[in-house]
Amino acid sequence: MTEPVLEVEDLHVTFPTDDGLVTAVRGVSYRLRPGEVLGIVGESGSGKSVTSLAVMGLLPATARVTGSARYRGRELLGASDSELSGIRGKNVAMIFQDPMTSLNPVYSVGYQIAEAVRAHNDVSKQAAMSRAIELLDTVRIPNAAERAASYPHELSGGMRQRVVIAIAMANDPDVIIADEPTTALDVTVQAQIMQALETAKTATGAAMVLITHDLGVIAGQADRVMVMYAGKLVEAGSAEDVFYTPRMPYTLGLLGSLPRLDQKSKQLTPIVGAPPSLINMPPGCPFTPRCPLAQPVCDEIEPPLAATTSLDHLAACHFSSELVEAKPDDVFNTEVADTKALAEFVRQTEGGP
């Protein structure tokens, strides 16, 4: 097996808050091979963004990070800022969620790309600027040479995100982390951005970590998929494994809640309830209150990540064997059984503030 370009081992991240210690990430481990696309899927609050920010060393100073994150064998956690600055933007680059606020409003986009180039290469301003224009062209910004002098507020959201992608590509990194790159954008723009990301990957040959809550974005792009829930990794495997033979009820529920155009219309499977509070988590599997397969053992013992269909396909569930050949609506109840409660809910919300 080729040496992994990024290796995360037993990562824990906690934040102190007014209400107590929040454990945002609990024991996440993964390996990223060169050129591989890893999709990390999860709801808001599942810890997927925090994991990547921890690897880059971009969490606020109050965060406590333990474990290990290695880029080509070099330990990133706890490294000095100057060491990390040498790696950031050059070997590991990041694309953030909200393009409207990711760019500095007082500098032109060309300047901001050129700045990334000059941070790691001793080149003249003109050389950096022409590279910037080149990159703008690569991400398909029309009239790149003119556009380079534009300010961020003169560009649309989609174009701004492409500028961010250009910045990430600037120094041919080995790893590009894309943190919910399309979440803040219209669906019509999403496809363009995904295409730009594809271009970035081909042009730089980088491995990519694609973080999203949208399974549709992952499908067709990712080689491997990781599912996170309540700060924990609950399923990991190749895209085929996870999409076609999920072995964790949460994954199954997620798949069932996706509207599909390629299948006969069926009832979507909503997952009951809400993600748990990350403060003072009780023992056992965090998905238990919402899981249709839950048994007493689920409350007591947290299931370890264990191999299921193959050594590469891991799932954290005591009953993953029960999910063989299961379809989402087999496991999750799709009927609105409680019509009275629904009526009550409707009455409450229309009753006024």
Residue from the set 39, 45, 89, 249 that interacts with another protein by CB under 8 A? 89
x/- mask, another protein, residues 310-339, rule CB under 8 A, reads -----------------------x-xxxx-
Q: Which CB sits closer to another protein, 271 or 315?
A: 271
Could you say whether residue 348 binds another protein (CB under 8 A)? yes
Residue of 26, 88, 162, 232 interacting with another protein (CB under 8 A): 88
Q: Rule CB under 8 A: which of 92-151 touch another protein?
A: 93-94, 96, 98, 101-106, 115-116, 119-120, 151
Q: Does 272 bind another protein (CB under 8 A)?
A: yes
277 binds another protein (CB under 8 A): yes
- The sign of the torsion formed by the CA atoms of 275, 281, 285, 291 equals negative
* Residue 191 or 343 having the CB closest to another protein: 343
Q: Which is nearer to another protein, 46 or 308 (CB)?
A: 46
Site string for another protein, 281-310 (x = CB under 8 A): -xxx---xxxxx-xxx--x-----------
**DSSP secondary structure of 52-96:** HHHHHT-S-TT-EEEEEEEETTEE-TT--HHHHHHHBTTTEEEE-
DSSP for 145-175 reads HHHTT--GGGS-HHHHHHHHHHHHHTT--SE
**What are the Cα distances from residue 239, in Å, to 38, 209, 245, 284, 287?**
9, 14, 10, 27, 22
58 or 191: whose CB is closer to another protein? 58
**How long is the chain?**
353
Q: Which is nearer to another protein, 55 or 225 (CB)?
A: 55
- What is the spatial distance between Cα 48 and Cα 230, in angstroms, rounded to a whole number? 9
Residue 262 found at the interface with another protein (CB under 8 A)? no
Which is nearer to another protein, 55 or 133 (by Cβ)? 55
Sign, CA dihedral 52-58-59-64, equals positive
Residue with tokens 């706890």: 78
The least CB distance from residue 224 to another protein, in Å, is 23
Tokens describing residue 13: 């991240």
- Phi, psi dihedral angles at 187 (to 5 degrees): -60, -35
Nearer to another protein, 11 or 22 (CB): 22
* Straight-line distance from the first to the last Cα atom of the chain, in angstroms, rounded to the nearest whole number: 60
Binds another protein (CB under 8 A): choice among 273, 306, 321, 324: 273
- Tell which positions 55-84 bind another protein, by CB under 8 A: 56, 58, 60, 62, 81-82
Q: Partners of 94 in the beta sheet?
A: 177
Q: Does 340 bind another protein (CB under 8 A)?
A: yes
43 makes contact with another protein (CB under 8 A): no
Neighbour-count burial of 119, counting CB atoms closer than 10 A to its CB (0-12 exposed, 13-18 middle, 19+ buried): middle
Q: Which amino acid is at 71?
A: Y
Tokens (6 digits) for 20: 């107590």
Which amino acid is present at 236? A
Interface with another protein includes 156 (CB under 8 A)? no
CB of 75 to another protein, least distance (A): 17
**Burial of 88: CB neighbours in 10 Å, binned 0-12, 13-18, 19+:** buried
Q: Which is nearer to another protein, 67 or 289 (CB)?
A: 289
Q: Which is nearer to another protein, 205 or 273 (CB)?
A: 273
Q: Left, alpha or beta for 230 (phi > 0: left; psi -120 to 50: alpha)? A: left
Residue ranges that bind another protein, judged by CB under 8 A: 16-19, 56, 58, 60, 62, 81-82, 85-90, 93-94, 96, 98, 101-106, 115-116, 119-120, 151, 153, 164, 167, 270, 272-274, 276-277, 279-280, 282-284, 288-292, 294-296, 299, 333, 335-338, 340-342, 344-345, 348-349, 352-353
